[in-house]
Structure 1
Amino acid sequence: MENAILDIQNVSVRFANGSAVQAVEQVSLSVFPSDKLCIIGETGSGKSILLLSVLRLLPASAVVSGDVCFHGQSLFALSPKQMDGVRGGQISYVPQGSGNGMNPLLSVGFQVGEPLIAHRGMNKKRAIARAVELMRRFHLGREEELARQYPYTLSGGMRQRALIAMGISADAELLLFDEPTKGLDEARIRLVADTLNELDGQTMVCVTHDLSFARDVANRIGVMYAANLIEVADADELYAHPLHPYTRDMLAAMPENGLHFRPGYAPAHDDTRVTGCKYRMRCPNCSEKCAEMPPMADVDGHKVRCWQYV
């Protein structure tokens, strides 16, 4: 198998605020060239915290263990100045929040083009011209005029699309997207999906709770539940043949699958405190063995953390 661009190795995250809850627990995951990997899971599963840990963007209260390697180099071993060179230039991050991550004091065009100035040595005029081109890809409308305006004049959905344009502007080797469709209507979600699908050969990791969007853009899917990575497979394989009981329950609850909620099933974020398999209190196949945490089993390349397959 080809070498991974990004290797997440046994990463755990907790916050030093008196809480015993793990936000991320012993997650290992590799990202390969041209991967379009979506990490899915409900709110509170730890997927966004995992993404932030890759670029060391967590607050000082975060206690992080494990390692993250980019082309074999530990990102956790780099100095702050070295990390500044990685962020935006080599690995680009697009935050969630309907574009609230934009600076209200800088014009939209300058912000979209700023990575080209900071990491590619482009002058301001050329960078803003390129920003207008990128904004046109997302059909914001009146792009040259919008480039001169400030974020408060744009709707939340427009700001979010401008942030995505900013993320791809410097042609970073790896793109990290955190809920890129949050706050967007169905038509705009389709537009974002189409744009990401046009990024041929681009390597990206996208966290989302939108299962339909993930199916549209991903070639691989990872599933997180209660701070744990519980399943990883090719997208078509996972949607057709989910192995983990949680994944099966989650996909069965999709509208196009008939909203088949299993009796007694309900997501609960306090499952991070459960010992062993985090889903065992809700699993119809639970046994005494599930009181221990199962290892990640490999079923013909389909990885699943469940004792049924070990």
Structure 2
Amino acid sequence: MTEPILSVRNLTATFGQGASALRAVNEVSFDVMPGEVLGLVGESGSGKSVTLRSLLRLLPVGGHVGGSVSWHGKDIVRMTDAELRAVRGGQISMIFQEPMTALNPVLPVRVQIEENLRAHTQLDRKGRNARAKELMDLVGIPDSARRLDEFPHQFSGGMRQRVMIAIALASDPKLLLADEPTTALDVTIQDQILNLILDLRDELAMSVVLVTHDLGVVAATCDRMAVMYAGRIVEEGDVTQVFAQPRHAYTRGLLGSIPQAGTERSMLLSIDGTPPGLAAIPQGCAFNPRCDFATDICRRTRPHLTGDGHRAACHNSDAVIAAGSPVKKALSHV
């Protein structure tokens, strides 16, 4: 069997010290295979973005990463700062959620792309300039020679996202971490950006971890998916398996909230309540206060991921399976 390119085990991310420490990511484990697109899915506040940042130890001051993140035989969590600098942006790159806050507004695009090239390649000034133009062409920005000297505010939202992708791809990474790369973009531009990422995945033979709350995006782009709730993975498996037969009530609720062709004027399935705060995670299964399938054991004992391939952390998976998937075949055309 092919070995995973990234292996994450019991990843944790905590903020604060001692008894007041809050755990935003709680013992998360998953693998990313070569050439695979893995989707991390869940509501806002479920821990998706913090998980992605924790992989590269990009938490703000006061944040602490635990567990292990195995990359080419080395644990990123225990790397020295010098070793980590060689991995960040070079071997593993990240597209951040909002380009206008990730890009420096007072520096031209050329400088921001060449910064990565200067740190991770041996190219001279002429070589960096040529590579920057090549990257702009690669991500579909027209008139690249001229636009390299423009500033982020002179680009549209979709073009700024393409600039972010160009920066991320500057050093030919083997793993791309994409944190909601289509947020706030219109549907047409979303489709262009996602197709671009998939094309580049094939062209550059890289893997992708895609964070999103949009299950339509997952259906169209991902090979496998992991559903997160309250800092934990509650279900994981091939996209087709999870959509066809969800084994966790939270996943079933998310799938039921998707508008589908042929269901006009019918009620969408909704999940009552909101995700818990970090300081108020319920005992047992964190989803039990919002779950229609919850029983006494759900309120007492925290379930663990079980299963072969398609795994779920649910005491009542059989009941969830028996209820059936709310997704109809129309979703396959998303």
If the length of structure 1 is used for normalisation, what is the TM-score? Answer: 0.92
What does residue 129 of structure 1 align with? Answer: 130
Q: In structure 2, what is the Cα distance between the partners aligned to 1:273 and 1:221? A: 24
Give me the whole-angstrom Cα distance separating, in 2, the residues matched to 1:243 and 1:143.
48
CA gap 1:103/1:263 in 2 versus in 1, 3 angstroms: closer
Amino acid at match of 1:284: D
Partner Cα separation in structure 1 for residue 72 and residue 25 of structure 2: 23
* Number of corresponding residues: 309
SS in 2 for 1:159: helix
In structure 1, give the amino acid aligned to 2:144: E
How many percent of aligned residue pairs carry the same amino acid?
35
User: Could you tell which deviates more after superposition, 147-156 or 185-194?
Assistant: 147-156
The residue identity in structure 2 corresponding to 1:24 is V
State the alpha-carbon separation in 2 of the partners of residues 206 and 67 from structure 1: 20
Correspondence list, 1:63-78, <5 A: 63-78=64-79
2:230 aligned with 1:250: no
Q: Is the 8 A contact 2:284 2:302 kept in 1?
A: yes
Hey, what does 2:219 align to over in structure 1? 215
Structure 1 residues 264 and 174: alpha-carbon distance in aligned structure 2, compared to 1, 3 A threshold: closer
The 1-side partners of 2:98 and 2:175 are apart by 21
Could you list the per-position Cα deviations for residues 253-276 of structure 1 after superposition, in whole angstroms to 9, with x for gaps in the alignment? Answer: 012275854466233333861111
1:52-100 deviations in whole A, cap 9, x for unaligned? Answer: 1111111231133212111221112111111101111111111111342
1:43 corresponds in structure 2 to 44
1:22 aligns to what? 23
Partner Cα distance (2:290, 2:67) in 1? 29
Letter in 2 for 1:67: S
1:102 aligns with 2:103: yes
Q: For structure 1, which runs of at least 5 residues remain unmatched after alignment?
A: none
1:174 aligns with 2:175: yes
Contact 1:41 1:224 in 2 (8 A): yes
Q: Which runs of 5+ in 2 are unaligned?
A: 319-334
Distance in 2 (CA, whole Å) between partners of 1:264 and 1:23 is: 21
Residue 112 of structure 1 deviates from its aligned partner by: 2.5
* Segment drifting more, 217-226 vs 11-20: 11-20
1:268 is aligned to: 275
Contact 2:69 2:75 in 1 (8 A): yes
The equivalent residue for 2:245 is: 241
> TM-score with structure 2 length normalisation?
0.86
Q: CA deviation digits over 1:159-216, x for unaligned, max 9?
A: 2221012112211111111111112111111111111221213211111112212222
Question: Which stretch of the first structure deviates more once superposed, 253-262 or 184-193?
Answer: 253-262
Q: Corresponding residue for 2:312?
A: 304
Distance 1:263 1:182, change over 3 A: closer
Change in Cα spacing, 1:193 to 1:207, as seen in structure 2 (3 Å) is same
Equivalents in 2 of 1:279, 1:301: separation in Å?
22
* 1:203 aligned residue: 207
Which residue does the alignment assign to 2:332? Answer: none
Which SS does the other structure have where 1:307 is aligned?
Answer: coil
The change in CA–CA distance for 1:19 and 1:155 in structure 2 (over 3 A counts) is: farther
Question: Counterparts in 2 of 1:221-232, with a 5 A limit?
Answer: 221-232=225-236
Match of 2:327 in 1: none
In structure 1, how many angstroms separate the alpha carbons of the residues matched to 2:62 and 2:123? Answer: 37
The offset of 1:120, in angstroms, is 2.0
Structure 2 letter corresponding to 1:131 = A
**Counterpart residue type for residue 142 of structure 2:** G
Whole-angstrom CA distance in 2 between matches of 1:306 and 1:124 = 56
Tell me how far 1:47 sits from its aligned partner. Answer: 0.6
